[in-house]
């Protein structure tokens, strides 16, 4: 039996303040996420950030929490879409494969997923982050290795870890297909002025000692998508979202580039988020709700939100190919 482990970042068990606070405590206390000296990180996270943010974060989750309308079940979008992705991949791979899902933070956790796979002869580990960042992919891999090392009863399975796939042809083709479905002929008909590719941001300090470079990978993904879509340099831009605190993060910032568009006479935009493969808080609330409201308040016209890959068939086939290789 060949095992496949999909790993995503994680989500609260529920959207109430208590659940969100518990999730943020686990997430933000990871030294690979908040890369500050231990005592500084503990004080900053537990005494300042979480007390100030958990109620607002809970309200944000409540806005996007799925109600259980078929074909999707109720719950956190990230978990629901990730589970659907896992099930679709299992069908695509067919007999001889066992596919499990683990979350770095929250449930189902990596330990539970690894326990289910411990009878497999080989194991392919696929962190669901196209671009490598130590705060995401690095933390996920470290936790997997920590968990897997405790299962010495395994018959030394062959383990293969996919660290990134930011330029994988299947990934690019699938994302380009999803984008194309939503913008269709808008550029040709002059109904769309700009495609904005918004990536999750990182503190600039995390880039200094980072190999490979996350920012470079984001721009490489953007160029590959633009080539697949046949876009010129003046038809798309790259930005970074989700910054936290006062420390400098990767620029340009998504929320600050929108006013620049207005000043440049751009009124009709579409936004995709190619650092995510499953829709989540950062895409559904931060972009499709808050960024949309900001755009409308600035006087913008069309705002087209492009969903993530989720269970797009081309993406499922791309994952299956990565596993097969």
pLDDT in tens, 39-98: 988 898 899 889 999 999 999 999 999 998 777 889 999 999 999 999 999 999 999 999
pLDDT at 210: 67
Give yes or no: residues 196 and 160 share one domain: no
Give yes or no: residues 71 and 173 share one domain: no
Give yes or no: residues 80 and 194 share one domain: no
Give yes or no: residues 44 and 127 share one domain: yes
Say which CATH number the domain at 47 has.
3.40.50.1400
**pTM to 2 decimal places:** 0.94
Query: What 3-state class would DSSP assign to 164?
Result: coil
Helix (H) or strand (E) holding 196: strand 194-200
Encode 81-109: b = buried (16+ Cβ within 10 Å), e = exposed.
bbbbbbebbbebbeeebbbbbbbbbbebb
Q: Judge whether 315 lies within some domain.
A: no
User: 109 lies in which domain range?
Assistant: 2-164
Give yes or no: residues 151 and 289 share one domain: no
Question: Whose CA is closest to 154, among 124, 110, 191, 115?
Answer: 115
Distances (CA, A) of 102 to 31, 37, 71, 105: 20, 28, 22, 9
Q: Judge whether 40 lies within some domain.
A: yes
pLDDT at 158: 87
227-257 per-position pLDDT tens digit = 999 999 999 999 999 998 788 999 999 999 9
């Amino acid at each position: 039996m060949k095992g496949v482990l999909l790993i995503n970042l994680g989500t609260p068990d529920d959207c109430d303040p208590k659940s969100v606070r518990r999730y943020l405590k686990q997430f933000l206390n990871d030294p690979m996420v908040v890369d500050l000296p231990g005592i500084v990180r503990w004080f900053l996270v537990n005494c300042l950030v979480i007390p100030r943010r958990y109620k607002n974060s809970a309200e944000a989750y409540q806005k996007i929490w799925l109600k259980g309308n078929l074909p999707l079940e109720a719950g956190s979008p990230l978990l629901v879409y990730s589970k659907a992705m896992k099930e679709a991949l299992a069908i695509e791979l067919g007999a001889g494969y066992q596919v499990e899902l683990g979350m770095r933070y929250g449930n189902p956790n990596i330990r539970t997923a690894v326990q289910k796979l411990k009878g497999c002869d080989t194991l392919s580990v696929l962190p669901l982050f196209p671009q490598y960042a130590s705060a995401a992919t690095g933390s996920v891999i470290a936790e997997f290795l920590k968990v897997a090392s405790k299962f010495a009863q395994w018959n030394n399975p062959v383990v293969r870890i996919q660290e990134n796939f930011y330029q994988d042809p299947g990934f690019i083709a699938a994302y380009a297909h999803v984008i194309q479905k939503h913008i269709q002929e808008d550029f040709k008909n002059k109904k769309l002025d700009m495609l904005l590719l918004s990536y999750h941001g990182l503190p600039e300090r995390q880039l200094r000692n980072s190999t490979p470079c996350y920012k470079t990978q984001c721009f490489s993904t953007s160029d590959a998508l633009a080539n697949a879509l046949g876009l010129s340099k003046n038809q798309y831009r790259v930005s970074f979202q989700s910054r936290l605190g006062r420390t400098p993060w990767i620029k340009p910032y998504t929320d600050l580039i929108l006013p620049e568009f207005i000043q440049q006479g751009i009124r009709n935009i579409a936004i995709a988020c190619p650092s995510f493969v499953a829709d989540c808080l950062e895409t559904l609330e931060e972009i499709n709700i808050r960024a949309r409201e900001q755009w409308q308040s600035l006087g913008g016209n069309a705002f087209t939100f492009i969903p993530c890959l989720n269970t797009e068939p081309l993406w499922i086939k791309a994952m299956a190919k990565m596993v097969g290789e």
